[in-house]
Structure 1
Amino acid sequence: MKHINVTLAQLTPKLEDKDYNFDQISKAMVKANKEQSDLIVFPELFLTGYSMGDKLNELAETIDGPSVNKIKEMCKSLSLYAVFGFPELGDNGHYYITSALIDDKGELIGTYRKTHLFDQEKAFFNSGSGLKVIPTPIGNFGLMICFDVEFPEVARALKLMGADIIVIVNANMDPYKEHHYIYAKSRAMENEIPVVICNRLGLEEDLNFCGDSLVLDSWGHELLTMEGSEDVKTVTLPLLSVKDPKMNYVSSRKTDLYSVLIDK
């Protein structure tokens, strides 16, 4: 496909209330379907809220858990792709911050476990062990989660792995709004690849989640900017990576100089 219609669900989840949050997911997906969207993206850990702490063992689900299955049914009934964040209970008994990609037939076609954990996340979650590019009929999806965007190696690796688009589920908070705005644009521009980043809003304990969800084309142009408003919005995103022949970032790399990146 040369373009897809992308919907961002910049909303406020209710902490530890999966029923309420699924109701928001359901309503947003219905709206996306009415707007002829191909893909809807939700924030990081949207299913449960972010600051679960000691209740993680009650709220986390496996990849075939009840909430995931309900979203699969919604995707099938609405012929809609979805990327959403939830706390995953792995087969090994460990917990992960995970994003899931469900296709328009209701099939879970891939998950990604956050590899770069932020601050206190390390006290509750394990890091994922690999990066993911998931092929689909509407493009190859490279998945990232929040803090991952601050590591340029992740986006570059996804680009080299064949990603057509990078989709980032986010739970970014003050005072880091500008960080993710700059990094998301940089990841798009330096890799000449579209970037979709969906953040949340609301307060949890001392955390103020700052929104500013974005859809960026391969030039880093802002096709959709949501700033601080709670809303569900759709935009058409070209998937063809338009390259500047004077730049040639990927082919101009000097890989023999970069060993320090893995040796240090």
Structure 2
Amino acid sequence: MSIIAAAVSANFTRDLEQNFALVEQLLGEARAQGAQLVVFPEAAIGGYLSSLGNHGDTVRTTNRSLPPAIRLDGPEIQRVQALAGTTVVCIGFCELGDDGETRYNAAVCLDGDRVYGSYRKVHQPLGENMSYAAGDTYRAFDTPVGRVGLQICYDKAFPEAARALALDGAEIVVSLSAWPAARTATAEDLQQDRWTYRFNLFDAARALDNQVFWIASNQSGTFGSLRYVGNAKIVDPGGNVLATTLLGAGLAVAEIDVDATFRAMRGGMFHLRDRRPDVYAAVTERDTPQSSGWKAVAHA
């Protein structure tokens, strides 16, 4: 089945009306190019944190600058569904847990008729755990455009996250981000910044590792102390970038044919088939490098 997919690079703030207007605008532009799947960034509803680490206000004890907490069955998600119509949409938001207090950095995949799946971010960088609780599950789900798995931002740095989705049958991994430039020694040309490099390298590597289509969205512009690197893209199972926004805001649009591409790329070397789980026991051990004397290096 051949579909057209679009990955969004755009700036989303605390202004929900601005968010919904931008979602509607970009959906219109994507549909004009035939898109059946549109992927918006992490925190597209309500914006991301204004700072990370020791640089600001990301503590549980304050509401200052925190994104609005939204229920999965709340009116904000229903409003996205109304805008989505027949288009499959993946979008990030701050989810309010069932206890009415716990917040999760979350994403949902939906269209106008149903919610296909949702995800709570597992891996948390630079003090994000002071504002969000962590998720604990990777699960793929079926949609009209194929079997999809969701992950958010820092998750892409962990091969196990993408592998778990691929082993659950994900054909398309959707990676939603609010990925900024480096906090120190930022490159004059942001496209050459070391964090931009890592963002792009992870996208290509995870697609190739698992021989899946990889759709990466990202915030662009600035918010609070963060300067985002854009570079929304669509990557094929060979690690080839089919379309990218580079630093700019806009859409990366490409046609993908899951069945035909999988037959061609998995017909010979098929990474999931050729794994050797019997020799990977150390991968799942709980001990971390720190416990054996390794010390983290600041300003990575």
2:170 match: 163
Q: Does 1:229 align with 2:251?
A: no
C-alpha distance in 2, partners of 1:195/1:58? 27
The partner residue of 2:105 within 81, 85, 97 is: 97
1:60 match: 69
If the length of structure 2 is used for normalisation, what is the TM-score?
Answer: 0.82
Residues 244 and 36 (structure 1), Cα distance of their counterparts in 2 relative to 1, 3 Å cut: closer
SS of residue matched to 2:221: strand
Higher alpha-carbon deviation: 204-213 or 36-45 = 204-213
User: In the alignment, residue 223 of structure 2 is paired with which amino acid?
Assistant: E
2:53 match: none
1:243 match: 265
C-alpha distance in 1, partners of 2:211/2:168? 14
The partner residue of 2:208 within 189, 193, 214 is: 189
SS of residue matched to 2:228: strand
Shift of 1:238: 2.2
Residues 213 and 21 (structure 1), Cα distance of their counterparts in 2 relative to 1, 3 Å cut: same
The partner residue of 2:225 within 206, 212, 219 is: 206
Higher alpha-carbon deviation: 249-258 or 153-162 = 249-258
Shift of 1:180: 1.5
Higher alpha-carbon deviation: 243-252 or 209-218 = 243-252
Shift of 1:56: 6.9
1:184-207 CA-to-partner distances (Å, cap 9, x unmatched) read: 101111111110000111212321
Q: Which runs of 4+ in 1 moved over 6 A?
A: none
Question: Is the 2:49–2:65 Cα contact (8 Å) retained in structure 1?
Answer: no
Higher strand share: 1
C-alpha distance in 2, partners of 1:231/1:58? 23
The partner residue of 1:47 within 21, 45, 48 is: 45
Question: Is the 1:75–1:106 Cα contact (8 Å) retained in structure 2?
Answer: no
Shift of 1:101: 0.4
Higher alpha-carbon deviation: 229-238 or 16-25 = 229-238
C-alpha distance in 1, partners of 2:115/2:159? 28
Instruction: Give the root-mean-square deviation of aligned CA atoms.
Output: 1.6
1:26 match: 24
- Percent sequence identity is 26
The partner residue of 2:116 within 109, 116, 124 is: 109
User: In the alignment, residue 222 of structure 1 is paired with which amino acid?
Assistant: V
User: In the alignment, residue 206 of structure 1 is paired with which amino acid?
Assistant: S
C-alpha distance in 1, partners of 2:273/2:254? 31
The partner residue of 1:177 within 189, 196, 199 is: 196
C-alpha distance in 2, partners of 1:151/1:86? 22
1:72 match: 81
Shift of 1:236: 0.8
C-alpha distance in 2, partners of 1:140/1:43? 19
Larger radius of gyration: 2
C-alpha distance in 2, partners of 1:74/1:155? 29
The runs of 5 or more residues in structure 1 that have no matched partner are none
1:129 match: 136
SS of residue matched to 2:73: coil
User: In the alignment, residue 15 of structure 2 is paired with which amino acid?
Assistant: D
Q: How many residues are matched?
A: 259
SS of residue matched to 1:130: coil
Residues 102 and 55 (structure 1), Cα distance of their counterparts in 2 relative to 1, 3 Å cut: farther
